[in-house]
Amino acid sequence: TAVMEKILLRRSSLLRDQQQAWQESLEGREMLEFRQNLPAYKEKDTILIAILQNQVVIISGETGCGKTTQIPQFILESEIDSARGAFCSIICTQPRRISAISVSERVASERGEKLGESVGYKVRLEGIKGRDTRLLFCTTGILLRRLLVDRNLKGVTHVIVDEIHERGMNEDFLLIVLKDLLPRRPELKLILMSATLDAELFSSYFDGAPLIHIPDALRAADFKDFSRQTQESLSCWNPDCIGFNLIEYLLSYICENERPGAVLVFMTGWDDISSLKDKLQAHPILGDPSRVLLLTCHGSMASSEQKLIFEEPEDGVRKIVLTTNIAETSITINDVVFVLDCGKAKETSYDALNNTPCLLPSWVSKVSTQQRRGRAGRVQPGECHHLYPRCVYDAFTEYQLPEILRTPLQSLCLQIKSLKLGSISEFLSRALQSPKLLAVQNAIEYLKVIGALDENENLTVLGRYLTMLPMEPKLGKMLILGAILNCLDPVLTIVAGLSVRDPFLTPLDKKDLAEAAKLQFSHDHSDHLALVRAYEGWKEAEKDLAGYDYCWKNFLSAQSMKAIDSLREEFLSLLKDTGLIDSYATSCNGWSYDQHLSRAVICYGLYPGICSVVHNEKSFSLKTMEDGPVLLYSNSVNARESRIPYPWLVFNEKIKVNSVFLRDSTAVSDSVLLLFGGSISRGDVDGHLKMLGGYLEFFMQPAIAEKYLSLRREFDELIQN
């Protein structure tokens, strides 16, 4: 270790020389000047002293004041200045991968370096990090995974948790874990950063940790707000459809009449963004690439795509960025002058009583509105158009409910178990704001039913595999079984399809045509298999570069198809990481053409999402055990049928609107449900198979039964060992 110490001291002084050389260069001086003008820079000493004197420090400051890019750098630079740069290891978490990447690039360039020198990033399946990387930006999920193998974060000197005001589930979870860790690692520093002022909650959670607020040096005067109050705007405000016409009108007005400057349009979600984009592309001005650079910004975009957002367009071209709430706080686009705010965001909520998740566009909070507005006029006077009337704004809540209180907790519970954090409910009772007991119980019960936890709440072998796949357990289950049963190809498509927005578009004015188009892909009473066909058709068409036409003709979203394509790759490499398939993935597709097998995999994943089909003379009705009668979404292929030749539907999601609606369903037989629904308690595989065997003779032809039975046996052996 004495040798190590020496090496590190040498590297530290190299780092210091490097930093000094950069700050003395012309570019370096300009960059430093830019940084020194940020409000955060003025608080540099206060911040560093507070960190020195306290184990936990909480810092708040308006978006754009320089928290994310500067504060980690202050720490790094002060370590380097004290000639101990090579001894520190700073981790800064971001809620989203896109911000981790873009921020690390920015910080590296502020330091006159390439990524992978002293600054790096790591997100799922991607990262740049070198031997000398001392400041690492990563997603919250990555840090949680590191804690899995490195409980004490050995060697880490500073953890910075950014964007805590968003109150994402991962961040709330991480804070409980870190709070437990602090006494075990007294020299570890924890810094929390928030874009809003309500940081007292965090301070009291961390035993009165000091709060530092970075005062807002930004303009307020050169700022115009427009509320849409007219009757005409109200009438576009059909709750299901944002005022597309109004947005189109405003955008073309800005393009024709206003001074230069980028426009940022906050939309509800992915689906709205892509439909609006299609609409705008057909517009004579907005769709003209020589006048308008039309970009989109959302969480699942590729990193090459996101770079475009920060670039300045050519002279005479106006940049318009359609974004989800992701650009609200974590991404800063400098040249924005105009903001259009639709006032809504897709928000998941969770009805614990009925154990039903809801995903509905809902009005954002007042704080979000201010954040959105603040994105305009960063470098010159700005304008914000709120596309909703004042009276609607007045009814907004102050803050959004934290995610942990409004989403199902299954994945979180699995994570708690995999980190060996003891009893789930005891652990969650120590959260910043604890979820309802009922919600916790529901999640545990679900995990038991699907076989991820045993009766004593311990992870089963299946559960352990599921923790290696960062996705909803039901999707993880499908991937695992698809890999084991050698029918991975369609399963990858299905799982990817369930992870993106519905690729089957149903424009309101062409609903019938769109539904008819989907029906062409219908395949034996399954929305999931219809998707597989649609995707395969698209893949064929892409070979002739006709993918876009294909989507247009068939009412499919080209963006979703592309997203499915890249997610398939991502999921495949995740599976390789689990060791369930070999790294060449040569042998996992032998049965991919067997649609019955795909059906079995779907059933295995979606159980206990099942409902029974009851036929009457003309049609059929559906019932689930918990809800009684339920309905299908009208764009389900099963909704167009008058008979379904199977007694059950497994479904992906039920959503309560007025009645309970099922989204994406696949019909399955008794035998498939028997074999692939439910779980087998560990150690009693034989008993279970015997019992199923008895049923099988009853339901199935012996030859088929034999095949499934042997597959199941093989599967159970594999999964148990």
Residues found near ligand ADP in the complex (CB under 6 A): 38, 61, 63-70, 102, 106, 310, 332, 334
Select from 60-68, 120-128, 268-276, 678-686 the region that touches Mg ion (CB under 5 A): 60-68
310 binds, among ligand ADP, Mg ion, none (CB under 5 to 8 A by kind): ligand ADP
64 binds, among Mg ion, ligand ADP, none (CB under 5 to 8 A by kind): ligand ADP
Residue whose beta carbon is closest to Mg ion: 68
Q: Which is nearer to ligand ADP, 95 or 497 (CB)?
A: 95
The distance in angstroms from the start CA to the end CA of the chain is 40
Q: Which is nearer to ligand ADP, 38 or 322 (CB)?
A: 38
How far, in Å, are 254, 323, 394, 438, 697 from residue 375 at the CA level? 17, 12, 21, 39, 66
Q: Which is nearer to ligand ADP, 34 or 593 (CB)?
A: 34
Residue 77 to residue 319: CA distance in whole angstroms: 35
We find the least distance from the C-beta atom of residue 61 to Mg ion, in angstroms, to be 9
634 binds, among ligand ADP, Mg ion, none (CB under 5 to 8 A by kind): none
Residue 296 to residue 279: CA distance in whole angstroms: 13
We find the least distance from the C-beta atom of residue 72 to ligand ADP, in angstroms, to be 9
66 binds, among Mg ion, ligand ADP, none (CB under 5 to 8 A by kind): ligand ADP
Q: Which is nearer to Mg ion, 336 or 700 (CB)?
A: 336
Q: Which is nearer to Mg ion, 67 or 477 (CB)?
A: 67
399 binds, among ligand ADP, Mg ion, none (CB under 5 to 8 A by kind): none
Which amino acid would we find at residue 575? L
Select from 66-74, 166-174, 508-516, 698-706 the region that touches Mg ion (CB under 5 A): 66-74
We find the least distance from the C-beta atom of residue 62 to ligand ADP, in angstroms, to be 7
* Measured CA angle at 560 (ends 558, 562), to 5 deg: 70
Q: Which is nearer to Mg ion, 67 or 417 (CB)?
A: 67
Q: Do strands 90-94 and 135-139 pair parallel, antiparallel, or not at all (unpaired)? A: parallel
Residue 654 to residue 350: CA distance in whole angstroms: 11
Q: Which is nearer to ligand ADP, 343 or 377 (CB)?
A: 377
Say if CB 301 and CB 98 are below 8 A apart: yes
Residue 410 to residue 446: CA distance in whole angstroms: 7
We find the least distance from the C-beta atom of residue 65 to ligand ADP, in angstroms, to be 4
Cα pseudo-dihedral 448, 453, 458, 463, rounded to 10: -170
Q: Which is nearer to ligand ADP, 102 or 671 (CB)?
A: 102
Instruction: Select from 611, 605, 606 the least CA-distant residue to 625.
Output: 611
We find the least distance from the C-beta atom of residue 57 to Mg ion, in angstroms, to be 16
We find the least distance from the C-beta atom of residue 401 to Mg ion, in angstroms, to be 22
3-state secondary structure of 344: strand
Burial of 351 (0-12, 13-18, 19+ CB in 10 A): middle
Select from 68-76, 114-122, 378-386, 541-549 the region that touches Mg ion (CB under 5 A): 68-76
Burial of 290 (0-12, 13-18, 19+ CB in 10 A): exposed
Residue 621 to residue 632: CA distance in whole angstroms: 10
Residues in the chain: 721
We find the least distance from the C-beta atom of residue 292 to Mg ion, in angstroms, to be 28
User: Which positions ≥6 away from 143 have C-beta within 8 Å?
Assistant: 91, 93, 159, 174
Tell me the backbone φ, ψ of residue 350, rounded to 5 degrees.
-140, 125
61 binds, among ligand ADP, Mg ion, none (CB under 5 to 8 A by kind): ligand ADP
334 binds, among ligand ADP, Mg ion, none (CB under 5 to 8 A by kind): ligand ADP
Say if CB 39 and CB 59 are below 8 A apart: no
We find the least distance from the C-beta atom of residue 203 to ligand ADP, in angstroms, to be 19
Q: Can you state the percent helix, strand and coil of the chain, rounding each to 5? A: 50, 15, 35
We find the least distance from the C-beta atom of residue 243 to Mg ion, in angstroms, to be 30
Alpha carbons within 13 angstroms on the beta-carbon side of residue 316 total 4
- Residue 68 found at the interface with Mg ion (CB under 5 A): yes
CA 299 to chain centre: 6
We find the least distance from the C-beta atom of residue 216 to ligand ADP, in angstroms, to be 11
462 binds, among Mg ion, ligand ADP, none (CB under 5 to 8 A by kind): none
Question: Sign of the C-alpha dihedral, residues 27, 29, 30, 32?
Answer: positive
Burial letters for 333-346: b for 16+ Cβ neighbours within 10 Å, e otherwise? bebbbbbbbbbbbb
We find the least distance from the C-beta atom of residue 368 to ligand ADP, in angstroms, to be 15
We find the least distance from the C-beta atom of residue 23 to ligand ADP, in angstroms, to be 18
Select from 47-55, 61-69, 122-130, 333-341 the region that touches Mg ion (CB under 5 A): 61-69
Q: Which is nearer to ligand ADP, 12 or 94 (CB)?
A: 94
598 binds, among ligand ADP, Mg ion, none (CB under 5 to 8 A by kind): none
Residue 98 to residue 324: CA distance in whole angstroms: 13
Q: Which is nearer to Mg ion, 163 or 489 (CB)?
A: 163
Please work out the total of residues on this chain that contact Mg ion, with binding judged by CB under 5 A.
Answer: 2
Beta-sheet strand order (sheet of 189-194): 126-128, 119-123, 135-139, 90-94, 158-161, 189-194, 56-61, 211-214
Instruction: Select from 533, 529, 531, 535 the least CA-distant residue to 668.
Output: 529
3-state secondary structure of 41: helix
196 binds, among Mg ion, ligand ADP, none (CB under 5 to 8 A by kind): none
Select from 2-10, 59-67, 547-555, 696-704 the region that touches Mg ion (CB under 5 A): 59-67
What six digits make up the tokens of 26?
A: 């012309």
400 binds, among Mg ion, ligand ADP, none (CB under 5 to 8 A by kind): none
Q: Which is nearer to ligand ADP, 78 or 554 (CB)?
A: 78
The contact mask relative to Mg ion for 452-491 (x = CB under 5 A, - = no) is ----------------------------------------
We find the least distance from the C-beta atom of residue 140 to Mg ion, in angstroms, to be 14
Q: Which is nearer to ligand ADP, 333 or 462 (CB)?
A: 333
The contact mask relative to Mg ion for 18-57 (x = CB under 5 A, - = no) is ----------------------------------------
Q: Which is nearer to ligand ADP, 65 or 637 (CB)?
A: 65
Say if CB 191 and CB 161 are below 8 A apart: yes
Which amino acid would we find at residue 198? D
We find the least distance from the C-beta atom of residue 96 to ligand ADP, in angstroms, to be 13
Task: Dump strand ranges (E) for 177-325.
Answer: 189-194, 211-214, 223-227, 262-266, 292-297, 318-323
We find the least distance from the C-beta atom of residue 333 to ligand ADP, in angstroms, to be 8
We find the least distance from the C-beta atom of residue 63 to ligand ADP, in angstroms, to be 4
Q: Which is nearer to Mg ion, 68 or 467 (CB)?
A: 68
Q: Which is nearer to ligand ADP, 37 or 229 (CB)?
A: 37
104 binds, among Mg ion, ligand ADP, none (CB under 5 to 8 A by kind): none
Select from 7-15, 64-72, 374-382, 404-412 the region that touches Mg ion (CB under 5 A): 64-72
CB atoms within 10 A of CB 579: 10
Q: Which is nearer to ligand ADP, 69 or 467 (CB)?
A: 69
Task: Dump strand ranges (E) for 367-485.
Answer: 382-386
List contacts with Mg ion (CB under 5 A): 67-68
